[in-house]
Structure 1
Amino acid sequence: MTNPSRHPADALRLDDPEALADPPAVWDRLLERYPDGLAPVYLGEGVPGWLMLTLDVHQQVMQDPEAFARDVGHWRDFHNGVVPERSPMRAVYTKRRNVWNEDGPAHRRYREIVVQALSGISRKHVVSHVEEVVDRVIDTFCTEGRADLVTRYASVVPLLVLCRLYGMEAHEGVAVCSAQRRVWDGAEDSLHVHAQLQRRMTALARRRREEPGTDLVSEFVAAGMDDEEIRDHLTFITAAAHEPSAHTIAHALRQLLDRKSRVVQLHSGSTVREAVNSSLWHAPPMHTLIGRFATRDTEVGGFEVAAGDCLVMGFGPAQQLLRRDERLDSETNRSYMVFGLGPHSCPSSGRDLALAIAETAVQQLDRRLPDAVLVDEHWQGVAAGRLSGVESLRVAFTPTDRIYEGAPWQLSPSPSTPETPTETPPHMLSTRLGRWLRWIWQG
């Protein structure tokens, strides 16, 4: 066992997209260099961490909440100045009162509430929301004969479905998605944008407290959550569910476009389910995620991990190693790790919700645009806490009529939803997703 006084200078930087331009090759090098399953890495300049590489190490860490906590209060470098005050990591990993950030009794209480609230949303209810959202989104480009299925479809549908489940107004969904994307991407103004996001979530909680409905937020209110707890749970669910679902949809659609630029017709639900399953198995939507903090000195993967150290979940390398296991069926296996392990794993109701969104989105697109063909695609690199997947998926198809009458998505702010007067105008988004969302909502 080694006990290094500091991480090697050449350790992988998880915030460097160039270093992670070819993830499979990077994971191979790390697995060869650190066969016991743990690798020293840097989360940012001068910020050390440990990347978990194998299933065994993930199980050791994620199934022992006493030794490896979720509470960021245990992260030594988050509080001793090693993580800079203006680091984007502070916007993403600041302590919050939600099921992801708490341990012990508080975690168990939150998990019970979340599971009950999600279980109350039937698959039929979710599917009906997805079907309407899908048709309305497709209406925005179906007459054009061409579309980028990432920016104009996969990146939009999950967020809009979540907004429906929250009971949010349409224009609020745009603001939440734009803010969350900037925080997730580590934009320079992440802390400021995060504050805007928090105010919007709090305002929604207050409205639902006064006017409850049949939505997720109203369920949280009825379960006794205060406004801050609801705000922190909505922020977490948005980050955890939207973009991974978007990337899963994009990957599944890409798999169903063969090399001859034909869409494989989806005449059975099982075909769609296996396409979604295969996308999660071969291309997990998230490679890495800061996830646990050691509460005491512990041996892990051949290293002595010190109390206060940060451990990063390595879904990418661990799943890449699993795919080489001849005992696992590479096409039908469902051993993907992105839903987590241990007490903080995604509950089955949350997993079912994500899969329902992805499967319905893929099925509905084929129904509306059955002759779509792939024209061009592009893959993006990855970085710490970032998602992996298709950046663009351009297709051509026979133009078709819209389903809904009137201009597509001609939505305006509801008079029941006051704007927050303290908010400052947001920066112009650099992402195509942000520009596309504005186009949808503003017409």
Structure 2
Amino acid sequence: MNTESTGPVPPPGCPAHGTGERVPMYGPEFATDPQAYYDYMRHFGPTAPVELAPGVEATLVTDYSAALQLLQNSGAFRKDSRHWRDFGEGRISPDSPVLPLLAYRPNCMFSDGAEHMRLRQAVTDSFARVDSYWLGQITERVSNYLIAQFSSRGSVDLLNDYAKLLPLFVFNELFGCPAEIGDRVMFGISGIFDGVNAEKANEVLVHAVSELVALKRSRPGDDVTSWLMEHQARLTNEEMAHQLVLLLGAGAEPLRNLIANTLHLLLTEDRYAAGGLIDEAIDTTLWKNPPMSNYAPHYPVADMEFAGQKLKAGDLMLVSFAAANSDPALSASRHAPSNRSHLAWSAGPHACPAKDPARLITVAAIENLLNKLPDVELAVPEDSLTWRPGPFNRALAVLPARFTPARATQRPEAQQGADSAPRDDQGTAQGKQDRTGLWSSFLSWWKA
């Protein structure tokens, strides 16, 4: 008698065997080949039972149409994570690694209704005041500074020495951070997302943005922080601090991944690099390798049925932007790189409010890098690259590249800043407290 199963085979390392067990979304196996996991999850239907971290259960939406339905239905679902039943009933460990990105904060991401509209409008109106030409200039100047640190070496980790730092530098300028505050903002954001003493990093970041709020209350400037403060929403100091933590953190991490993932595509698929198809490469990355692959936490208001699954009030629901983008039900035309109906920026009332500035920064950063280093290429076999574990991001650990060294032309203080920055055993700047001073070094170079 044939006893072999005809059902889908779980990916390597996955303990779920089609028996209702939850599919783990952490560990190196998921990071190595998440698409294999998404393909397996589809046998559950439009949603799948998953585990984000040990003991943290969720329902993941993998179907494109169901994802849109969830993201656009603010009547049946809430964003305020104080509705999260498992957390409220004490079933989530306070030191869970996923908690910092799921726990409630009084900002526009975790708010609903009129409060969300008030906070969101302040953010969108403030970003609308950003001059695109000025932002492009800032990005190019930051790019020039970072390239000057490694252009004479002939090799670089494009993830840690470029894509990771550039958004932090640009955002510090965009939000008007002076040197002494900007250094701590960079340390805080890096620590939270890199898992380097995350609790201390979060404390440093919160204190830094609180000082920035106090500074701008007394001396407003021509920057997003001051514009938020001037907005008719009349944000309190606490609200200001939490909006800044959200905008600086949620902006910098996905943006670094978008830059790095697009560079990865350009360095591994000749047709993009040879044709200078940067915009097309960005669209392909947003479709196939979105920087935030699984997020958008939502909570049902009441017990309900959704996409054929029974949900209880307060269940944690996430959207897999990556799985939805690769939904087999989408027609071939929807996959065309020029088409921007992907879900990488989310959708509905909580869609990313800064997608246009993010794209502008990405284009400028990549164009300037390729213009300065026209023969840059991947320095290791593509299959040797590793991806950072975690359920939310699609993020490389490193992106080693090589190129023809340029004659050192950077200003002395810029080189001094690069030489004095501590390095880890991969030659990259460390994301620890002793890395502070990077923003100060850049500002000194800028003003020289």
Output the TM-score relative to the length of structure 2.
Answer: 0.84
1:132 counterpart letter in structure 2 = R
State the alpha-carbon separation in 2 of the partners of residues 329 and 295 from structure 1. 34
Shift of the 26–309 alpha-carbon distance from structure 1 to 2, 3 Å rule, reads same
State the alpha-carbon separation in 1 of the partners of residues 51 and 426 from structure 2. 26
Equivalence map 1:123-162=2 (5 Å): 123-162=132-171
Q: Deviations over 1:137-171 (max 9, x none)?
A: 11111111111111111111111101110111245
Instruction: Establish whether residue 30 from structure 1 lines up as the match of residue 41 from structure 2.
Output: yes
State the alpha-carbon separation in 2 of the partners of residues 331 and 92 from structure 1. 30
Shift of the 358–17 alpha-carbon distance from structure 1 to 2, 3 Å rule, reads same
1:234 counterpart residue number: 244
Check conservation: 1:245, 1:354, Cα contact below 8 A.
Answer: yes
Check conservation: 2:288, 2:322, Cα contact below 8 A.
Answer: no
Shift of the 146–265 alpha-carbon distance from structure 1 to 2, 3 Å rule, reads farther
**After the TM superposition, which parts of structure 1 deviate over 4 Å for at least 4 consecutive aligned residues?**
258-263, 409-412, 428-433, 435-443
1:218 counterpart residue number: 226
State the alpha-carbon separation in 1 of the partners of residues 246 and 274 from structure 2. 35
Cα distance, 1:411 vs structure 2: 6.7
1:193 counterpart residue number: 201
Out of 304, 328, 332, the position equivalent to 1:298 is 304
Check conservation: 1:134, 1:364, Cα contact below 8 A.
Answer: yes
Cα distance, 1:53 vs structure 2: 0.6
State the alpha-carbon separation in 1 of the partners of residues 269 and 76 from structure 2. 48
Check conservation: 1:281, 1:333, Cα contact below 8 A.
Answer: no
1:371 counterpart residue number: 375
Cα distance, 1:402 vs structure 2: 4.9
State the alpha-carbon separation in 2 of the partners of residues 345 and 82 from structure 1. 29
Greater percentage in helix: 2
Cα distance, 1:438 vs structure 2: 5.1
User: Matched residue pairs, number?
Assistant: 412
State the alpha-carbon separation in 2 of the partners of residues 83 and 209 from structure 1. 38
State the alpha-carbon separation in 2 of the partners of residues 54 and 220 from structure 1. 36
State the alpha-carbon separation in 2 of the partners of residues 277 and 219 from structure 1. 31
1:178 counterpart residue number: 187
2:390 counterpart residue number: 383
Equivalence map 1:292-371=2 (5 Å): 292-321=298-327, 325-347=331-353, 350-371=354-375
2:280 counterpart letter in structure 1 = E
Q: Deviations over 1:21-56 (max 9, x none)?
A: 31111111111x222x11111232233210011112
1:16 counterpart letter in structure 2 = G
| Structure 1: segments with no counterpart, 5+ residues | 1-6, 413-427
State the alpha-carbon separation in 2 of the partners of residues 410 and 344 from structure 1. 43
Q: Deviations over 1:263-306 (max 9, x none)?
A: 5363xxxx322222222122111221151011111111221110
1:43 counterpart residue number: 52
Check conservation: 1:130, 1:161, Cα contact below 8 A.
Answer: yes
Output the TM-score relative to the length of structure 1.
Answer: 0.85
1:13 counterpart residue number: 24
1:113 counterpart residue number: 122
RMSD: 2.8
| Structure 2: segments with no counterpart, 5+ residues | 1-17, 419-423, 442-448
1:359 counterpart letter in structure 2 = V
Structure 2 counterpart SS, 1:100: helix
Cα distance, 1:200 vs structure 2: 0.9
